[in-house]
Amino acid sequence: MKLRRLLLATRDPARAPRAALTKAAALARATGATLELFCALSEPGPVGSPQRAATLERARERLARLAHSPLLRGCRTVSCVEWDRPPHEAIVRRVQKVRADLVIATTHAHPAGSRLWLRHTDWELIRHCPCPVLLVKSVRPYSRPAVLVALDPFHVHAKPTQLDQQLLAAARSFAATLRGSVHAFHAYMPLIPSVQGPMGEPVMWESPEVEEVHGEQVAREFAREAVRAGIPPARRHLLLGDVPSALAATVRRTRAGLVVMGAVSRSALRRLLIGNTAERVLDELGCDVLIVKPRGFKTTVPRRRP
């Protein structure tokens, strides 16, 4: 995973969250990549009006000043402001235009149980951005971080088989860049078979023998993936339980600075990640999250704005 151009998406041209600037600068300095600060303006107003032109010019001046922040010292930095909406489409269009390798965005706290946050730019980027998206959640700086990669050795949910290899490659790349270490994670649920009752109703049938065989098979496949990736046993985390809770617990135990997760497609994201997986993961994790798409993913966002 080569980083040549980083795109830091900011909602306010006058300032950006300090954590996002610090981490974007750390990645840019370590890789020699160009860091672009990008802001999309979407306020309504007549096209070509003097007021709109003045607003655009003022935003460009503010973002240019931000590009000279002491936090970005030593980075090759550029800035860009465009009038485009919605914001996530504007970011994706800019990604396609400059061929960005990574988008860095900040997440926002949302009320527990609320689904409204799914309309926000960070979630839409997960769905539509063709390059990896780094969601900055933690203010803790990267300091030889543990990079935790969430693997799916059985490739359930119709995930492409090569996606795990991409996740491992991304995790190794970030760990090498940040002088950290790669950890492998997988969580699985108990296998509870059911049989038909006297009236045809399903009856749960607990079988310790079946559960033991199932657990051994999962452990064997997970170990095979980890060995192939060169991850030692001490950095392998196989848990029994649901993914969000188990992953959050592993992050706390390892003090991971970054979790690397995979995404498949827009339809699969809607089916698999909304609700019990990604929404809970993004809510519960206290560290940053890197979302990686499989090779061949094509965004539905048009290159030219309507």
Token pair listed for 298: 């094509």
Confidence tier at 213 by pLDDT (50, 70, 90): confident
To the nearest whole number, what is the mean pLDDT of the chain?
Answer: 84
Residue 191: pLDDT band (50, 70, 90) is confident
**Predicted confidence (pLDDT) at residue 273 exceeds the cutoff of 70:** no
Nearest C-alpha neighbor of 79 from the set 68, 70, 87, 90: 68
Least reliable range by pLDDT among 10-24, 162-176, 199-213: 199-213
pLDDT at 184 over 60: yes
User: How would you classify the pairing of strands 288-292 and 256-262?
Assistant: parallel
Residues 69 and 16: their CA atoms lie apart, in Å, by 10
Report whether pLDDT(56) > 80: yes
Domains of the chain: 5-292 (3.40.50.12370)
Q: What is the pLDDT of residue 297?
A: 87
Instruction: Note the pLDDT of residue 211.
Output: 78
The tokens describing 218, both together, are 């999962």
Average pLDDT over residues 48-55: 84
